[in-house]
């Protein structure tokens, strides 16, 4: 029972003022003051005793006089104006107070004016308590301060950005050092975070850093294409926090402060000689942080995560994510596109020569699309100014040209006749580059199609017997009808003439 109710009960029982003061442990003047207020009230004492304590206290304590009277009413009506004026360049509270006193000389003094203005600003921006569902969101951010390690070869101090993430329901935290805040490192850190959690939340909430958001907007921010691909691969969505609104992700901001005290501070005197060593130390301290009992709560972050949140996360996909890059190229006359990143050429079906191709490539694969259809898939090759060609992409003429080989011509010759097969094999047995003999094979095969088969076979036998493996020799035999003569071809001696010098000339 409140002290006022006890006083009323004693007064109702007929106790004297001195007795009430002694029983309640208050001064007689205080008792007199309460009883004087009671006399001026219209309510009956039994009605007052029936009131709740806060309502009864208000009956006897009217509130702070600073919030009553004309001067407070005048100031209250102008507080919104003063608050908006403070946002302007050069406008201070002192300047506003001076203007206020000029307009209303009997107004509040400087300290009371500042007090009411501060109270109004706080009341104008109340903080909302957000409730989070388990497995719903993952807040991610980069810490403002960096960590570093020493390069063993050069002795150079390499500074690293620190990626921090937390699940707001359990406040389960994760941190990892990366080389920079670029897109590749940001995606790598996100992937490591999801692997650490062994699951995927429904929403990723990043800050408006360039690796995540191309163009910040309170309503429709433009998400980086690679981050969209990452979210699609893991079956989640990306909803960035509003620009310059840290309260949208207050928990990860607080997580960064905890990382400063529980990771940065504890490893400040240690020296690391690789990024792996640095991350091993961060992981160890973050484990301690997640297993530390939370204030005013009977659990630690890890216990709450494992018991109530982990089973709400979606499973990880079977394949790791690779960043996709997007380019548009025109298919060249040689039915290849040139990937400018590596200066390497990849084939496209010859029917698409001259058309625009959309190229999507990762660190391992290159996919080429035309009119929304995937027309070519290649393994990525980083050799500059080299060609990756699929034979099926070439026209028949080019395929035929690439198919040429000694085996190819021997196989074709064997399909014609035994004599041509024997001739072709002996042709390639010569110590000459095979490429020099392809035209000979083409000519002989063409001659086979145009000539009487029996005559051609005899011509081949004659060429083999005389070891003359040439197209012109066979052609001459057929044209001169030498194949019709019986026996061996007679060789005529050179005629006598004066130009023959004899061996004596050279002795």
Examine residue 89 and state whether it is found in any structural domain, yes or no: yes
156 and 266, same domain (yes or no): yes
Expressed as residue numbers, the domain containing 44 is 3-62
Examine residue 507 and state whether it is found in any structural domain, yes or no: no
Selected residue with higher pLDDT from 48 and 267: 267
| pLDDT tens digits, one per residue of 459-487 | 888 888 888 888 888 888 888 877 666 54
Residues in the chain: 507
The CB density around residue 279, as the number of other CB atoms within 10 Å, is 20
Q: How far is CA 485 from the centre of its chain?
A: 83
Would the pLDDT of 354 be above 80?
Answer: yes
Examine residue 369 and state whether it is found in any structural domain, yes or no: yes
pLDDT value at residue 376: 95
Rounded (10°) angle between helices 225-234 and 183-197 = 20
Would the pLDDT of 137 be above 60?
Answer: yes
Q: Which of 1-5, 168-172, 180-184 has the lowest mean pLDDT?
A: 1-5
Mean pLDDT of 357-384: 91
Among 100, 124, 148, residue at a domain's last position: 124
Among 396, 427, 445, residue at a domain's last position: 396
According to DSSP, the residues that pair with 164 across neighbouring strands are 141, 175
Examine residue 113 and state whether it is found in any structural domain, yes or no: yes
Mean pLDDT of 259-264: 94
Interior/surface letters 34-43, b for 16+ CB within 10 angstroms, e for the rest? beeebeeeee
| pLDDT tens digits, one per residue of 140-169 | 999 999 999 999 888 999 999 999 999 999
Task: Give the CATH number for residue 190.
Answer: 3.30.420.10
Mean pLDDT of 425-450: 85
Would the pLDDT of 416 be above 70?
Answer: yes
d(CA 285, CA 288): 5
179 and 229, same domain (yes or no): yes
477 and 433, same domain (yes or no): yes
Residue in the block written with tokens 């309460």:
34
pLDDT value at residue 247: 64
Average predicted confidence (pLDDT) for the chain: 85
Selected residue with higher pLDDT from 55 and 488: 55
d(CA 329, CA 308): 50
329 and 288, same domain (yes or no): no
pLDDT value at residue 485: 64
Mean pLDDT of 268-281: 94
Q: Which of 171-180, 203-212, 338-347 has the lowest mean pLDDT?
A: 203-212
179 and 146, same domain (yes or no): yes
pLDDT value at residue 363: 78
Q: Model confidence at 297, in pLDDT bands (50, 70, 90)?
A: confident
**What is the dihedral sign for C-alpha 170, 176, 182, 183?**
negative
Examine residue 130 and state whether it is found in any structural domain, yes or no: no
The CB density around residue 305, as the number of other CB atoms within 10 Å, is 22
Q: What angle do CA 303, 304, 309 make, to 5 degrees?
A: 120
pLDDT value at residue 243: 64
Would the pLDDT of 3 be above 90?
Answer: no
Among 356, 375, 396, residue at a domain's last position: 396
d(CA 123, CA 121): 6
d(CA 296, CA 300): 11
412 and 476, same domain (yes or no): yes
pLDDT value at residue 344: 93
204 and 221, same domain (yes or no): yes
387 and 245, same domain (yes or no): no
Say if residues 134 and 308 touch (Cβ distance below 8 Å).
Answer: yes
pLDDT value at residue 488: 53
Examine residue 493 and state whether it is found in any structural domain, yes or no: no
31 and 120, same domain (yes or no): no
Which helix (H) or strand (E) is 138 found in, with range? strand 137-142
d(CA 48, CA 175): 60
pLDDT value at residue 211: 67
pLDDT value at residue 156: 93
Examine residue 28 and state whether it is found in any structural domain, yes or no: yes
58 and 74, same domain (yes or no): no
Would the pLDDT of 128 be above 70?
Answer: no
d(CA 137, CA 416): 74
Would the pLDDT of 221 be above 70?
Answer: no
d(CA 185, CA 72): 57
175 and 201, same domain (yes or no): yes
Would the pLDDT of 218 be above 60?
Answer: no
Selected residue with higher pLDDT from 282 and 407: 282
Kindly state the percentage of the chain with pLDDT values over 90. Answer: 37
Q: Which two tokens stand for residue 104?
A: 């209303």
Q: Model confidence at 284, in pLDDT bands (50, 70, 90)?
A: very high
Mean pLDDT of 53-63: 76
pLDDT value at residue 333: 92
This prediction has a pTM of 0.59
Would the pLDDT of 449 be above 60?
Answer: yes
Examine residue 491 and state whether it is found in any structural domain, yes or no: no
The domain tally of the chain equals 5
- Which ranges of 198-343 would DSSP assign to H, the alpha helix? 225-234, 250-259, 275-291, 301-304
pLDDT value at residue 38: 83
Q: Model confidence at 336, in pLDDT bands (50, 70, 90)?
A: very high
73 and 57, same domain (yes or no): no
- The pairing of beta strand 157-167 with beta strand 147-150: antiparallel
Mean pLDDT of 481-497: 61
pLDDT value at residue 504: 76
């Amino acid at each position: 029972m409140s002290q006022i109710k006890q006083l009323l009960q004693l007064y109702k029982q007929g106790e004297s003022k001195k007795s009430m003061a002694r029983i309640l442990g208050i001064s007689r003047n205080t008792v007199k003051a309460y009883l004087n207020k009671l006399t001026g009230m219209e309510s009956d004492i039994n009605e007052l005793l029936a009131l709740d304590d806060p309502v009864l206290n208000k009956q006897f304590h009217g509130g702070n006089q600073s919030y009553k009277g004309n001067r407070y009413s005048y100031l209250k009506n102008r507080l919104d104006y003063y608050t908006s004026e403070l946002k302007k360049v050069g406008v201070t509270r002192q300047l506003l107070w001076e203007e206020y006193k000029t307009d209303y000389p009997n107004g509040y003094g400087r300290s009371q004016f500042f007090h009411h203005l501060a109270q109004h600003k706080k009341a104008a921006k109340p903080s909302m308590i957000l409730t989070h569902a388990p497995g719903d969101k993952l807040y991610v951010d980069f810490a403002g301060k960096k960590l570093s390690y020493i390069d063993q070869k050069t002795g150079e101090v390499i500074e690293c950005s620190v990626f921090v993430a937390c699940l707001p329901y359990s406040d389960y935290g994760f941190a990892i050092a990366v080389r920079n805040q670029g897109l590749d490192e940001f995606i790598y850190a996100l992937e490591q975070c999801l692997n650490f959690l062994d699951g995927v939340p429904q929403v990723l909430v990043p800050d408006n850093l360039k690796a995540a958001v191309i163009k910040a907007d309170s309503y429709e921010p433009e998400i980086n294409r690679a981050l969209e691909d990452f979210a699609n691969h893991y079956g989640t969505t990306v909803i960035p926090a509003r620009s310059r609104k840290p309260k949208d992700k207050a928990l990860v901001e607080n997580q960064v402060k905890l990382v400063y005290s529980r990771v940065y501070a504890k490893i400040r005197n240690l020296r690391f000689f690789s990024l792996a060593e640095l991350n091993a130390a961060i992981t160890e301290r973050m484990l301690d942080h997640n297993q530390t009992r939370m204030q005013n709560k009977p659990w630690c972050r890890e216990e709450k995560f494992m018991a109530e949140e982990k089973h709400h996360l979606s499973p990880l996909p079977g394949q790791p994510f690779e960043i996709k890059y997007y380019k548009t190229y025109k298919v060249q006359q040689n039915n290849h596109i040139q990937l400018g990143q590596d200066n390497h050429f990849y084939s496209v079906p010859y029917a698409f020569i001259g058309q625009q191709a959309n190229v999507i490539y990762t660190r391992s694969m290159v996919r080429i699309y035309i009119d929304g259809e995937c027309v070519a898939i290649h393994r990525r090759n980083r050799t500059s100014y080299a060609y990756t060609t699929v034979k099926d992409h070439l026209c028949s003429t080019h395929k035929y040209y690439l198919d040429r080989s000694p085996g190819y011509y021997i196989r074709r010759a064997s399909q014609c006749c035994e004599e041509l097969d024997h001739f072709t094999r002996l042709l390639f047995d010569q110590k000459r580059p095979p490429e020099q003999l392809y035209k000979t094979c083409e000519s002989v095969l063409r001659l086979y199609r145009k000539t009487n088969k029996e005559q051609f076979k005899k011509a081949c036998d004659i060429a083999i017997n005389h070891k003359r493996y040439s197209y012109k020799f066979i052609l001459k035999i057929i044209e001169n009808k030498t194949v019709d003569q019986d026996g061996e071809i007679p060789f005529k001696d050179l005629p006598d003439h004066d130009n023959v010098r004899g061996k004596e000339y050279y002795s």
